[in-house]
Structure 1
Amino acid sequence: MQGFNMGRYVPPEHEGTTSANKLAGKHALGSRARKAGQGILTVRFEMPFAIWCATCPKPTIIGQGVRFNAEKKKVGNYHTTPIYSFRMKHVACGGWIEIRTDPKNTAYVVTEGAKKRDTGEDKVQEGEIRIKTDEERERLANDAFTALEGKVEDKRQATTDKSRIEELQRAKEKDWSDPGEANRRLRKTFRVERKVRQKNEGLTEELKDKMSLGMELLEETEDDRRRAGFVEFGEFDSARAIVKAKSRPLFADSSASKKPLAKRVTDAEERREKLRKELGNNTRAMLDPFLNVDKPSVPAMSSVCFLKRKRSSIEDTERSSNVKETNVEAKAPVPALVDYDSD
């Protein structure tokens, strides 16, 4: 029984003898196999390395990992392993790029429309052995000068390798002449380093619990100690702090950088707490009126207030007398037309 509305219906007279794709004359892969008669199948191809496009008017690089809809086709064999070709179009310029598999070297080769970016990975590094191709072997066998050059290069390389091997053997004999002693020395060093690591891990866990940190703390380095030594907190006495700053050498070594991390954090918290208390006390002393009695500036302020009050009382008396005089003058008859200033 076929699924409902799945496009796979097979009439009862053909059921079991053929498939729905054959009855409809379609391929199972759909549009991906529209060139199946030519041996081409459309696949999703990912660029194995960066390449330079040769069709673009300006130098354009196609990065590693960029994906294309490529036409996959078998173009040959290496012994019994097939060689496939992937042909794709660069949408930026419309040029075609072809990349083939290389089973001999287990790699990909750009054959058309682009050039592989040279990153130096294909060059023979020191200590690597380069396998000669059949053409190189044939040239060495037929050309005497090429064979002579190869022999000179081989002799030079053999001399270099021999000196390096002898150096390694001497170092091994020196360090491992007594395997038991060497093993004891290594284990001793490991024990000391393990104790230091355990101690640092304990301090780190304490610091994380104290500061409520939800992240991993890296091990302290010399650069961290030097940077922490540059941080200084303010003094309570500003005059003394200024004198201390002026008398301090410019390139003096700070003793704070030599303290462990936990000790520096504790000292910083203590100084921060003292600074907070001092700031709170100073603020309360300035805002609380009952704490201003003992200050030397209170009498001066009180005398000023007394003078202000006295002066204000005198001014009030003069103002009241002026009001009475104006009232008396207001009761006197005023002529109808009298020139007077606006004041």
Structure 2
Amino acid sequence: MQGFNMGRYVPPDLEGTISGNKLNKKHPLGSRASKPGALTVRFEMPYAVWCTTCPKETIIGQGVRFNASKTRVGSYYSTPIFAFRIKHTACGGTIEIRTDPKNTAYVVTEGGRKREDGADQVKDGDWEIMTDAEREKLRGNAFAKLEKTIEDREQLTVAKQRVEELQENNKTWDDPYEMNTRLRKEFRVGRHQREKEGHATEDLKDRMSLGIELLPEKEEDKIRAGLVDFGSILRETGEEAMAAQGLHKPLFENTITAAKTDASDGKKKLKSEVKAEQTKRDLVSELVSNTRISHDPFLHMDKRLSTTKTPVRIPGIKRKRASIDQDTRGDKTTDRITDTVNASIAAESIGSQQAHTTNAALVAYESDSE
């Protein structure tokens, strides 16, 4: 029994002698073979094609599919040549594309032209297919032969370089275990030092809140950092020199040296002498401390800086120099002190004279009782 959709019905008396399609005078492909010698197939554009039938040439992109009529139009040796005729729906024109077994390509023969994109140019390493006539012409043309020889030499140089690279890679990676061992041995040297430096760098970045990548330290960086001197901008004259000198002095003087020196002499002293020396030493220490407090530049630095003001410059008025002003002030102060001293001396002399006069008058005074 024949199953469903297994073909057309054949009577039992004709079964095995004729096929169902021939018995019913039908083509095996049905409506696809409705035209004699032509077959309807689904054809896909092998490349972009310009349609010349349109009023303005329109491009049909690569990969667009059409229902094409496939016919055999010839053969190249034993290979058939097929023609595909399609209809462009935008303008209604017909485009015919044929196979080219000689160059293994498709050729537009009617209704359009191929869009040139440079893909057909011969590249390095590609072999150009030539006919016998072209080969014979190439043999007879000396210039063509020379150009071909130069191109062959260039291709040979490139191919030779590539072969040498492949041979070198093959030689290098012939034993992967040995190469891996060698690399691990090289990286093992100084690994602990690199890890220690990495931890120190991360710690520094965390403490300084740095969001940048710190590079490893170099000997050149040490030399350049050693050449930098962070000095004062102001000239160390006067108060600045006193402040710099005070920085180098100790804050507390050592007073035990003298006592140790006396004890090392080995001479016994009386209690009164020891007490007198101790009193003297305490007095000297107190005087030194009081003198330092009064002359310490750090105690009066803020006061001097706050009270020191630069004189205001008024346009059109000529100022005196600071040194002349200071000398003038010093002379005036000296004169004032001299006048004060002279006045006090004169007052003392006048007072002594009055005292002598008063005493003499009192002595020479006669009472009424006499």
- TM-score, with length taken from structure 2: 0.42
Instruction: Give the number of the structure whose alpha-carbon radius of gyration is greater.
Output: 2
- TM-score, with length taken from structure 1: 0.45
